[in-house]
Amino acid sequence: MNTTRRRAWLSHERRVLLMAMAAGLPAVAVALSLLWTGGYTSKVVWTLTTLVLVCWWGFTFALRARVVYPLQTLTNLLAGLREGDASVRARGAVPNDALGEVMLEANVLAETLREQRLGALEASSLLRKVMEEIDVAVFTFDAGHRLRLTNRAGERLLGRAAERLLAGTAEELGLASCLEGQSPRVADLSFPGGVGRWEVRRTSFRQGGLPHQLLVLTDVSRPLREEERQAWQRLMRVLGHEINNSLAPIKSIAGSLARLLRRDELPADWRDDAGRGLEVIASRAEALTRFTASYARLARLPQPKLAPLDIEDLVRRVAGLETRLAVEIDQGPAIRLPGDSDQLEHLLINLVHNAVDAALETGGGVKVAWTTNGGYMELRVDDEGPGLAQTANLFVPFFTTKPGGSGIGLVLSRQIAEGHNGLLSLANRPDHQGCRALLRLPLIGLGSRSRAAGIPSTSGGATPTL
């Protein structure tokens, strides 16, 4: 207790004052001793004694003020910064001076904090404006699943003002199911402010050291309906075009045959004309049947049946099916991944068949190679053909540049790749003339039961290309 009181009494100001007094005390003591023993008159002694003591005390307190006042200025500056007021500046901020440089650095710090605070306020204001204006419902929940923040879209969705929503639990607000399950996902949800399909996105963050959850609900009903409408329009254009291409000659030939049969006297070669007409009608009807069958096959692609699949066996099996050209195989690493053998074989047959078609035009070759990249297997089918003139319509259903082609081979191949959580792309080769088809498939994804059972690799029969 005594030590604490002594430290409180001996503050920095008092220590500076005592040290200043101690610094001048020897000179004052010598001066006064000489003055009082020098035989001067009492008037001179008392006058000079008063002058020495006044100067001694005056300079002592001036030195104290010179040390203490700048520190008090810095204290006020730092207190203002702590309170968020960065407008205070210290005087005496000059270079080439120890105290001036301290003041200068303090002013620079205050200016930096002022700019950062201003930027934070502007960013926060912009964020609030964006939150209020976006047509996406945003909710923030604390660790107890109580609502802490929402925007106007969230108010409209729940049909209540924010003041009545805040501090309510997710269960009371009808949002408990949104805080569980997979994220992101699309779900059919019903709220007081709207019913439809919603994309649910959820993430976690910390505020004040405590965990919170950010929930974002986006109404995707309208975009999905628009996409569905556009898909139907594209489908009807394709179907109408193909059906009209088949029905127009059938209608014309049928009319010609009807006029021929209504004549009183039939020409001698009327049987030949009728036979050729019926052959055309049968040919166009068969083409229309093939078209509708191809579309049905494209629309009814089954889910892949995953089993361990050896990539080298698959590549060598498909390469052996091509008799028009010897396909070069660039040996890659041993890879077994989960996949549907029949579907992936059909996909690879289609890619190799297209590559051979292109290579035969220029007398080039075809090479198949595979490798691993991260968590994916990358399989390349390179040809030395003329390359791709344009890639915009490669995966458009029923678009083809081949005589007699159906235009669904690449579309079906991409659907197979995406059904395996993979990707399929075609592009011109960067290092050589020709085209490169790149297939990326994940190396993992098979269920644990299949892996534990050690299901052997299966091989499917060859499927004709489309």
DSSP secondary structure string for all residues of 325-356: SPPEEE-----EEEE-HHHHHHHHHHHHHHHH
Return the pLDDT at 329.
Answer: 92
**One pLDDT digit (tens) per residue for the chain, 466 residues:** 455 555 555 677 788 788 888 888 888 888 888 888 888 888 888 898 899 889 988 888 888 887 777 778 788 878 877 777 777 777 767 777 777 788 888 888 888 888 888 877 777 777 777 777 778 888 888 888 888 888 888 888 888 888 888 888 888 888 888 888 887 888 888 888 777 788 888 888 888 788 888 888 888 877 767 776 776 676 676 667 667 766 777 777 788 878 877 777 777 777 777 787 788 778 777 767 766 666 666 566 678 888 999 999 999 988 888 888 899 999 899 999 999 888 898 889 889 988 998 899 888 999 999 999 888 999 999 999 888 776 655 665 555 555 544 456 777 788 888 888 899 988 888 888 899 999 999 988 543 333 333 333 333 333 333 3
Query: Would you say 291 and 240 are in contact if contact means Cβ atoms under 8 Å apart?
Result: no
- Hey, which bits of 220-353 come out as E strands? 307-310, 328-330, 336-339
Q: How many other C-beta atoms are found inside a 10 Å radius of the C-beta of residue 278?
A: 13
Helix (H, G, I), strand (E, B) or coil at 294: helix
Phi, psi for residue 159 in degrees, rounded to 5: 70, 25
Phi, psi for residue 187 in degrees, rounded to 5: -135, 150
pTM here?
0.43
Ranges of each domain in the chain: 2-82, 134-219, 226-299, 307-453
Length of the chain: 466
Longest Cα–Cα distance in the chain: 171
d(CA 453, CA 335): 18
Return the pLDDT at 295.
Answer: 63
Adjacent-strand bridge partners of 336: 310
* Residues 6+ away with beta carbon under 8 Å from 426: 388, 391, 394, 410, 435, 436, 437, 438
Q: Domain 307-453 carries which CATH code?
A: 3.30.565.10
CA-wise closest residue to 151 among 193, 185, 118, 123: 193
End-to-end CA distance of the chain: 96
CA-wise closest residue to 449 among 325, 303, 338, 321: 338
Residue at token pair 């990707």: 423
3-state helix, strand, coil in the chain (%, to 5): 55, 20, 30
CA 166 to each of CA 127, 208, 215, 353: distance values in angstroms, whole numbers, following the listed order: 19, 18, 14, 63
Q: Which CATH architecture has domain 134-219?
A: 2-Layer Sandwich (3.30)
Order the strands of the 185-191 sheet from edge to edge: 147-150, 137-141, 210-219, 194-207, 185-191
Query: Would you say 435 and 387 are in contact if contact means Cβ atoms under 8 Å apart?
Result: yes
Helix (H, G, I), strand (E, B) or coil at 54: helix
